[in-house]
Amino acid sequence: MEPNTTKHMRWHKEGRRANPNVMVHPSDAEAWTHFNTSCPEFAMDPRNVRIAMATDGFNPFGYGKAQYSCWPVFSIPLNLPPALCMKEENIFLSLVIPGPEHPGKNMNVFMRPLVDEIKEAWPGVLTYDSFSKQNFQMKVAYHTSIHDYPGLGMFSGWSTHGGLACFDCMADVDSTWLPNGHKYSWFDCHRRFLPADHNFRDQKNAFRKGVAVYDTPPHRLTGQEVLAYMNEVKEKSFEGYGTVHNWTHIPFLWELPYFPLLMRPHHIDAMHTEKNVAEAIFATCLDMANKTKDNNKARLDQALMCNRRHLNLVEKPNGLWDRPRAPFSLNRPQKKEVLQWFKDIKFPDGYASNLRRGVNMDTLKINGLKSHDFHIFIERLLPVMMRGYVKNEIWEVLAEVSYFFRVLCAKEVDRAQIRQLEANIPVLLCKMEKIFPPGFFNSMEHIMVHLPYQVRVGGACKVHMDVWN
């Protein structure tokens, strides 16, 4: 009904791009084009709306108060140009799922009214276009969802916990249970993504002891294959959960007639992954007690899985165990220098102010870091922080990690560059596996291998990240 807004709803099709080889909006990506081909009648009218959904839990009573998890569900019209589609005024609160616990399998129950509305809007709803001054049948289609990893598990029906946590690999994953760390590790799960003739595949001492890898990458299932997979699991009453599948329920979104045609029905918030990877690198390189991924339990698991005898725990005469310092870990004087640098560094207002405020020189820690602080750390500060403190081959790997997220999370993404990232990320993860212990690699580090594909198919990550900012 608002003429100034209505004219922008055609931008996804009629808006001009400065460079056709650069993605700035979901409409520039493969999933949008694929849906146009699959549903040409819907694509004919640029006023038909595609929406994204997002949900996350929060405590409305603030931190430190009673535990309570409230889940708002937002709907976002993606037709608008990049500068508008993620603005606060254009993100609509569709429903609120009350707590005190997360919805879990009951997500279907709470989502039923919203899914019914989307089903009703697919054939079209008579709507007045105030820009062209005429009525038309406006169709609405679900395009994708944007979540952190726990939210993805509830929204997609595939649990993101356990050894089959990866939504892309599904059951075709080679995670390992760590007997000392008491968790699943995705260590040495990435050589299978390498080219068939890559020399890392034959190296039997750099990764797991005596293991060469010749497996091919897991098959990425289409929507129709996923639907058949779910129906097969449902017929068996979800038998084999956690061993042959991770389905907890079948979301009502699959009732949408076009849902199996979607190339990427769910997106992982890249900043959530970025934050987890940055936090792991930061705590491990600074050897922070209770946070480092290179603790005594990790060394015991590393001794079982890897041929890195120089890093094995050494028993002292007094019966205690000594943990040799890893080549990626800073010593105490180096940590003091790094933290003093964080304390003295100056940023523009609101850029990364918590970095300075949280530095504690007594405990040699930084407290109170938020997702955006880790976003700045891994993309801008990590290479500078580690320069000169570790061997050059280790620093180069950390610099590659920084460059990977900097390109991935840019506002504008070059198509050729993202394809290059997609080819390089398995090699980068293998380089990290040569440096860090098995306990370092949980599902969040593994997700990195799928993020370039997500951007190539779904569009620039910056659009997805803006939901949480």
CA distance 452 to 420: 9
What pLDDT score was predicted for residue 3? 81
- Omega of the bond prior to 217 within 30 degrees of 0, cis? no
Q: How far apart are the first and last CA of the chain?
A: 28
What pLDDT score was predicted for residue 87? 86
Q: How many residues does the chain have?
A: 469
* Mean of pLDDT values over 1-23: 87
Coil vs helix vs strand at 441: coil
pLDDT > 50? residue 179: yes
| In contact, 464 and 31? CB cutoff 8 Å | no
Q: How does DSSP classify residue 319?
A: S
pLDDT > 50? residue 468: no
Residues with Cβ within 8 Å of residue 169, at least 6 apart in sequence? 218
* Band of pLDDT at residue 74, cut at 50, 70 and 90: very high
For 200-209, the CB contacts below 8 A with 24+ separation are 200/427, 200/430, 205/307, 206/434, 207/306, 207/430, 207/433, 207/434, 208/305, 208/306, 209/305, 209/306, 209/307
% pLDDT > 70, the chain? 97
CA distance 280 to 439: 11
* Band of pLDDT at residue 402, cut at 50, 70 and 90: very high
pLDDT > 60? residue 24: yes
What does the pLDDT look like over 426-465, one tens digit per residue? 999 999 999 999 999 999 999 999 999 999 999 876 555 5
What does the pLDDT look like over 107-128, one tens digit per residue? 888 889 999 999 999 999 999 9
| In contact, 290 and 391? CB cutoff 8 Å | no
Say which range, 290-294, 318-322, 384-388, has the weakest mean pLDDT: 318-322
pLDDT > 90? residue 346: no
What pLDDT score was predicted for residue 149? 87
The whole-chain average pLDDT of the chain stands at: 90
* Band of pLDDT at residue 386, cut at 50, 70 and 90: very high
Token pair, residue 58, equals 């929060």
Q: Taking the domains of the chain in order of start, what are their residue ranges?
A: 3-146, 270-465
What does the pLDDT look like over 190-245, one tens digit per residue? 999 999 999 999 999 899 999 999 999 999 999 999 999 999 999 999 999 989 99
CA distance 148 to 240: 26
From the list 359, 386, 387, 362, the residue with the least C-alpha distance to 373 is: 359
- For residues 36-50, one letter each, b for 16 or more C-beta atoms within 10 angstroms of the residue's C-beta and e for the rest, the string is eeebeebbeeebbbb
This prediction has a pTM of 0.92
